[in-house]
A and B are shown apart, each in its own frame.
Chain A
């Protein structure tokens, strides 16, 4: 019987003696370890490649409600002001024209496609989440801008301001991308929520009001002051960089955005009454 110490010495000697087995094992370790480490590291981020649809809009429009409605399929839960973005995984059937209730079921017919629906906080201080995802997100298939059609009269200025920011960010993204890989058409859906309420405007009126207000914002912005840092650091900024739509045009229409590969649709609906199938179909068609 050899003591454990002897066994250890024997073992070490065996490893240090050149032999075929030692060489083979050594080579395997040298080549396999980096590969395994790589796999382990990349496996940590499995969700990056799904296409995504981002929900943006002013607070209180119903973004989180829509998200919960689409996820649960029966009814939206009550919600409060969001502080962090939240993404959920949803499945659409590509070839079938299903309502969202049917699509949420596990046994929905047709070819399935998964995507991420990303909810962003609408509060003014937290909009950088949304803006960052508009600028940088990969696999961005569409943007749903939700607004409250029932209180649009009072909130027109604030809502249009946010929409202006969103459209401008997208326009800049497309312009920048022109040289390299151009992101193909970016689709924007303006979802006029709360059509169940008495004061809600129909989508045509929402459209004309928004266009008028966006035109006014565009005009006043063009006359406004430069942002700090701009005048000092990069004077060679192109003048029409911050101009939304066709440069120099008198009136703003959403049609002008097509020049920048931005398709804008306006569709009414209601989360409270679960009339969101039109939006759902819009989303499914864009994926």
Chain B
């Protein structure tokens, strides 16, 4: 059973919700954060516009599964939450159908500026109707009665026509259900005989109907079969296979149904209808009106007026949504010529609605530009896709060219990608650990940082730069020689520490080195160092590690043990700005090497002074890991380390020369 269904806007307001079981709001909050904001889980998984819920990857969070779909132009998200233990195959359909209905009914209200009010309390009825229909349809599928199963199947594989009936649970269903919206609409078994809809007259009729294929249908069902487009009536015509209504405009013409009147025994209009009963009275009294009565009722051949119930309305909406794509036709040569001129004009003046074709070329140009800036193609493609997704259907401002608009959107995308989720103030973090406030229960301990990376990227150099920065802030630092492998590594650190000591003697910082020579296990050395630092009251422990190739399993596996024993507060990876496409795999492999639940905490990008504007590596690694960049190295001296500034990077990346 469904736990919760919510319709919310991108601005965070819940427009409509239905809850069957208490679900913590944090589940949906986390879902939004992960899927839409941080775009976790690979490329542009987040926020694909108007995609069917079946294609959006379900989001799983402790025992719950979320199925969702998103309408970009209106900025609304549809989320269904249910227990992961249950396999509710119809949830996809429910989400899709409700999306179609909601957009159709309330789309206009959503477009109003400067308000969050949407009057949609009537949506309850539509929701109930859909839920009932889909749930009962699912129940039908498992039903033992062969004829019923047959009919359901037939309804789904509508275009099979006169072919012999297929066994229950046939493949067409599954294949079709995977399709986009149209097929889900089509596969919604609308009025299968077994679907019990007590409040709707159709269901009642069906239950008492005769056994023959024709008489099984209600009068209304046959009417729909005659006069309405195929997809909508596909459920109803299930038992009358021969009659395949072609796709044509719906006409509520009374004459069309006259010949089938005889085998219907029940007075249809007299059936109690709880849902629309209030408007039914009104419907009867105005039946002779000249207004287009097809919007709310059907006239039978006997002259009785039958109010269209909610089912009809819903099916109408779904059907019209399905037929929409086919109605967009070109009005001849002249029309298309005029369109071309108009779009050329709009290119200059602005106010043009961007389409995929408009965007294709400039977007590829943007991608090339990013790749020239040393962004890995994978990341460039992701950025291009996310910008394209954002711009599709957007209107350009007055006197704004497509290129400017793309640049603007790219700036936003880059900023969003590079901006860290939480603030990164290293000194403040250290202070919190080494001098915890009176309230907190934590004991003071040294702040442990370790630095990893591939060979030759500048791990030791950046470690000493950070050390210098900390020493200037009068901290007691212990440098640990964790590289017990490469010749001269310990000596190199010793030289650094000696230099730093001399440099900062007057400033008041203190630095010592902790080394156990070569050949030892780096993880144990690190653990011992942290222990001794705790007893001797150091503020910060900086652990250097041996450089390792990121695709060498043997070397990388050591890192897990290292992370466990040393348990650093921050694991920073040094990546060079010089590296090209390999940066993505480097970052990914290192990020995944610390075992369950531990990832990198930040990057230091070294050698930024050597690449000029080509700082694309920044983007590549953040794209690969979602881990923020903390520092950039900008020179050879101890003081040449900088906090990473997002604006600086974005400016450099978009700078074209």
Contacts and interface: CB of A to CB of B under 8 A. Distances in A.
Contacts of A182: none
Contacts of A99: none
A82 B10 contact: yes
Interface residues of B, number: 56
Given A80-B29, A224-B425, A230-B642, A119 B115 contact: no
Interface in A213-248: 216-217, 220-221, 223-232
Interface in A98-132: 116, 119, 121, 123-128
Contacts of B423: 124, 158, 161-162
A225 B469 contact: yes
A103 B484 CA distance: 72
Contacts of B420: 124-125
Nearest to B473: A223
Contact of A125 (B28, B416, B642, B645): B416
B116 A68 contact: yes
A88 B133 CA distance: 38
A237 to B, nearest CB: 13
Interface stretch (A71-79, A172-180, A260-268): A71-79
Contacts of A84: 10-11, 75
A126 B37 contact: yes
A161 B12 contact: no
A79 B419 CA distance: 24
Interface string B422-454: 110111100110000001000000000000000
Given A64-B11, A80-B32, A228 B38 contact: no
Contacts of B14: 77-80
Nearest to B420: A124
Nearest to A127: B419
Given A123-B33, A158-B422, A85 B17 contact: no
Contacts, number: 145
A193 to B, nearest CB: 15
Contacts of B425: 161, 217, 220-221, 224
A interface bracket (residues with beta carbon within 8 Å of B): 35 or more
A128 B10 CA distance: 16
Question: Which of B114, B632, B648, B649 lies at the interface centre, i.e. has the most chain A CB atoms within 10 A of its CB?
Answer: B114
Contacts of A78: 14, 17, 25
A67 to B, nearest CB: 7
B637 to A, nearest CB: 11
A44 B351 CA distance: 10
Contacts of B12: 64, 79-83, 86, 119, 121
Contact of B428 (A47, A126, A220, A225): A220
A13 B632 CA distance: 75
| Main SS at interface, chain B | mixed
Contacts of B421: 123-125
B398 interface: yes
B631 A225 contact: yes
A236 B644 CA distance: 19
Given A41-B398, A67-B116, A232 B634 contact: yes
Contacts of B28: 80
A153 interface: yes
A80 B416 contact: no
Contacts of A72: 117
B37 A123 contact: yes
Contact of B8 (A80, A116, A123, A231): A80
A2 B14 CA distance: 68
B544 to A, nearest CB: 20
B36 interface: yes
Interface string A31-57: 000000000010010010000000000
A123 B439 CA distance: 27
A68 B34 CA distance: 24
A89 interface: yes
Nearest to B349: A41
A182 to B, nearest CB: 25
A67 B6 CA distance: 19
A140 B11 CA distance: 21
Contact of A87 (B37, B114, B439, B473): B114
B439 A153 contact: yes
Question: Which of B6, B28, B422 lies at the interface centre, i.e. has the most chain A CB atoms within 10 A of its CB?
Answer: B422
Interface in B350-403: 398
Contacts of B412: 128
B648 A229 contact: yes
A64 B11 CA distance: 8
Interface string B8-36: 11111111010000000100110011001
B472 interface: yes
B398 A44 contact: yes
A92 to B, nearest CB: 15
A44 B398 CA distance: 10
B294 interface: no
A128 B631 CA distance: 20
B645 A230 contact: yes
Contacts of A126: 37, 416
Contacts of B608: 228
B415 interface: yes
A161 B428 CA distance: 10
Interface string A192-230: 000000000000000000000000110011011111111
A225 B642 contact: yes
A274 interface: no
A106 to B, nearest CB: 13
Nearest to B609: A232
A51 B416 CA distance: 28
Interface string B293-309: 00000000000000000
27 contacts: A44-B398, A60-B29, A64-B13, A67-B116, A80-B6, A80-B14, A80-B25, A81-B12, A81-B32, A81-B37, A86-B9, A86-B116, A87-B113, A124-B423, A125-B38, A125-B420, A126-B416, A158-B422, A162-B423, A220-B425, A220-B431, A221-B425, A223-B472, A224-B426, A225-B469, A227-B645, A230-B642
Which 5 A-B pairs have CB atoms at the shortest separation, nearest pair first? A229-B648, A82-B12, A86-B11, A227-B645, A228-B642
Interface of A: 41, 44, 47, 60, 64, 67-68, 71-72, 77-89, 116, 119, 121, 123-128, 153, 157-158, 161-162, 216-217, 220-221, 223-232
Given A83-B10, A125-B420, A225-B631, 11 more contacts: A64-B12, A78-B25, A81-B33, A87-B113, A116-B114, A123-B421, A223-B473, A227-B642, A228-B608, A229-B645, A229-B647
